[in-house]
Amino acid sequence: MKALMASSVVCVALGELGDALAIVTILTLNAILGALQEQKAEGALQALDKMTAPTARVRRYGKVQRIPAAELVPGDIVLLEQGDGVPADLRLIEAHGLEIEESALTGEPYPVPKKAGLITDCVPLLDCDNLAFMGTNVTRGRAAGLVTATGMSTEIGKIAGMLNEHKREPTPLQNRMAAVGGAILKYSLAASGVVVLAGVLRGGSLFQMFLTGVCLAVAAIPEGLPAVVTIAMASGVRRMAKENAVVRHLPAVETLGSAALICTDKTGTLTQNRQQVQSVYTSSGWWQAQPGDQQLKPVQAGNNDPQDLVTMLTAGVLCNDAGLHWSQNKPSTGTKPQWRVEGDPTEGALLLATSQNGLNYKEIQGKWRRVRELPFDAGRLRMTVICREKSLGHAVFMKGAPEIVFGLCSQIQHRGKIIPLDDISRQAALEASERMAGDAMRVLAIAYRPLDDPGLSDPEQSLILLGLAGMADPPRPEAANAIATCHRAGIKVVMITGDHPYTALTIANKLGITKSRKVLTGRDMERLNDFELAAVVREVNVFARVLPAHKLRLVKAFRQQGEILAMVGDGINDAPAVKEGDIGVAMGRTGTDVTIQAADIVLIDDDFATLVSAVEQGRGIYSNIRRSVRYLLSTNAGEVLLMFLSVLFGLPMPLLPIQLLFLNLLGDGLPALALGVEPLAEDLMDQAPRPANQSFFDGGLNTQIVSRGVSLGLAGLGTYHWALRHGDLNRARTVALATITSGQLLAAMDCGERKGSKSNHFLAGSVAISAALLAGAIYLPFGRRVFKTSPLGLMDAAVVLGTAGLTSIMDKAIADFWHGNKSGKKPKMPSNKEKNGELPD
């Protein structure tokens, strides 16, 4: 950029206003395109502010009053009830059936039981069940809590602080382009200096040679390079938008293609972010949910009694405070309508399972009127209701932790009949519970009994066990294939979640993230210093029970190893880590405004597979930029070499300033832009990621640039010298112009050719247009007057095209020689052990 700005100043000083205007226009368009992509880049803190509850109910001076939440101070007593947002960090001093949804901190959607009292043991913050945190929501019960922190001192406030600390760094491509610009400037100045010195030593005018040197330096700088890079990325943005990935920060497009590591949240990213009844156990057999529709089917046909399932689902509906409504998630995403749960996701899963299995839960609840309730709390670990139906009378229904419910049951329903709960039946139910828990399900036991006396002081006894329901947040159907594609592409996938270690490890094993049993928790991380953590993260693919600060620390530890990292998340707890990653990726449907504002890329369909497609696009963009740079630098090098050698050999200037401008217009214009929007090759995801410190010119690019530049320069010099010997200077310059331009257009076609790619109609069209413009400049009277050219005869045209064709043949021969020598030196792909977080043997 600096070199181009300097060039525009020099062009103005020399009176070349056309060159100056072209350079300034390119720089301006580049800045506008970048600004349009980033105009909404810094809204995360404002979005976080909206989470704070506007008012709070407090008990002050013995009176209950409502005050603005901003006026809370440590020591205030805040009163909470169902539906309230927690306005500050609190230590609970009263709690009655309290459950709080803490996804703002953990990312997990299910409510957490809370209780009052002191905790004497040293436990992680997430396991402190006597604390309530600002930004979380009360889903059940009521409580009173003592304010311990407000504003930026709260856990949510600390997230805001972490977001504010991060400063955006230059992307790998920006660093590489800066290095390319520095190299161009250095070599162009060196060549210009040699030309000026040689000309002066041969008796030329110092001023004239200085002007020649400046013109040579300006000709060496590819003015179209910034526009090519920007348009290549913008083209990628357009293609990614069609794949449901919206880019908010333009350079992130290419950076994603460099990613060697993807760190992802679990809930809502790899899973569907909804609890689903996946398994049901009754004494007559097992029932399994079918993928997609949640319909329960017998595991062994013929053994199961449907009446047992219906009775259990009916009890689960009656002992339930959740609701369902039919709606879209976000209208702007175009998602299909679906059931949405209001209340506890676990209870909502029971309602959904009932609806998907032919029962109308609203009719069931309408027939049975609730007359009494014993609510769930952290001490009881169960919920009990007494309901009345006109013809059947009263009955008690219970759901809760299996170990609690089993102890309150004396009978069990088997094929519609009530039989004693003997040791064999009890052991079978216990083993079924352990089996579900082993599959990372949340297990609820469901029981009931008819009641003769609804006023019974202790209705929770002598119950009839109906069965067990196992619920889980199922993996996304496409996630496993997407992760397998990442592994094939040499990209390591790491899960970072606030969920429990066993659940996280089970999902990771199912999706193929890891085959090992290694998992690191937030509590484990707190025992490690930064150096020890950096050593450990190489061996682990699953991190569980982590807070936002832990996620941020993990991202920093991975980045210290020099790998390009993409951080994927949806919750507020993910936002600091998303912003810290080399590429931050947020979910569009389930993602919070805070995380979306902190991200570089937003996945509109919340599909992890979309991210993999975006990685492929990023790799294609980098490949296209390299192809454009190869073309621009090799053709500009040919121009410089032609002028450089002409001056050294004492020949007249082979190209006039207006011809140089025309040459740069044809070369740095349409063909270069067309190369930047080349279709993707089919094998991009079969290659290893680029190392973060890899030179832009690795892989033989420097050899290709030099060889094509030398062949173009020598071809132009040869035809120029031949034309000088057989005609006037004007005709010779026309021959040189035609030779260099024809060679450039052939170079563009050569750069566009590669195995496994589709044809680029834009490139073919741009070459045809450029060839037509060259013909117009040579053969049309107006073109000859403007560009000081002469019409070429058949012999001249044959020499020009033949010599230009030789440059293409030479280039292909050198490329074949290079690839032949390098065929056995492919980038090292990670081993299966390394992909799974294990150390290689």
Q: Which residues belong to the active site?
A: 265
Q: Which long-range contacts (CB under 8 A, 24 or more apart) does 730-736 make?
A: 730/788, 730/789, 730/790, 731/790, 731/792, 731/796, 732/654, 733/654, 733/655, 733/656, 733/659, 733/788, 733/789, 734/778, 734/789, 734/790, 734/792, 735/792, 735/796, 735/799, 735/800, 736/642, 736/654, 736/655
What is the rounded CA–CA span in Å between residue 543 and residue 697?
A: 37
* Residues in the chain, total: 841
Q: Which residues pair with 100 in a beta bridge?
A: 112, 138
Residues 6+ apart with CB under 8 A from 182: none
Q: How far out from the chain centre does Cα 232 lie?
A: 19
Q: Which residues pair with 526 in a beta bridge?
A: none
Alpha helices in 649-757 (DSSP H): 657-667, 670-675, 701-725, 729-752
Question: For every residue of 774-841, which 3-state class applies, written as one string?
Answer: HHHHHHCHHHHHHHCCCCCCHHHHHHHHHHHHHHHHHHHHHHHHHHHHHCCCCCCCCCHHHHCCCCCC
What is the rounded CA–CA span in Å between residue 504 and residue 287?
A: 24
Q: At what angle do helices 608-648 and 657-667 cross, to 10 degrees?
A: 160
Residues 6+ apart with CB under 8 A from 833: 839, 840, 841
Contact 140, 321 (CB under 8 A): yes
Buried b (16+ CB within 10 A) or exposed e, 686-714: ebebbebeeebbebbbeebbebbbbbbbb
Dmax (CA) of the chain: 121
What is the rounded CA–CA span in Å between residue 777 and residue 303?
A: 87
Contact 340, 369 (CB under 8 A): no
Q: Which contiguous run of DSSP H or E holds residue 90?
A: strand 89-101
> Beta strands 63-68 and 417-420: pairing type?
unpaired
From 533, 575, 578, 579, select the one nearest 558 (Cα to Cα). 533
What is the rounded CA–CA span in Å between residue 775 and residue 767?
A: 12
Contact 573, 159 (CB under 8 A): yes
At residue 146, what are phi and psi to the nearest 5 degrees? -90, 125
Using CB atoms within 10 Å of the CB of residue 840, give its burial: 0 to 12 exposed, 13 to 18 middle, 19+ buried: exposed
Residues 6+ apart with CB under 8 A from 834: 492, 840
Contact 669, 743 (CB under 8 A): no
CA 586, 588, 592, 597 torsion-angle sign = positive
Q: At what angle do helices 206-220 and 2-13 cross, to 10 degrees?
A: 140
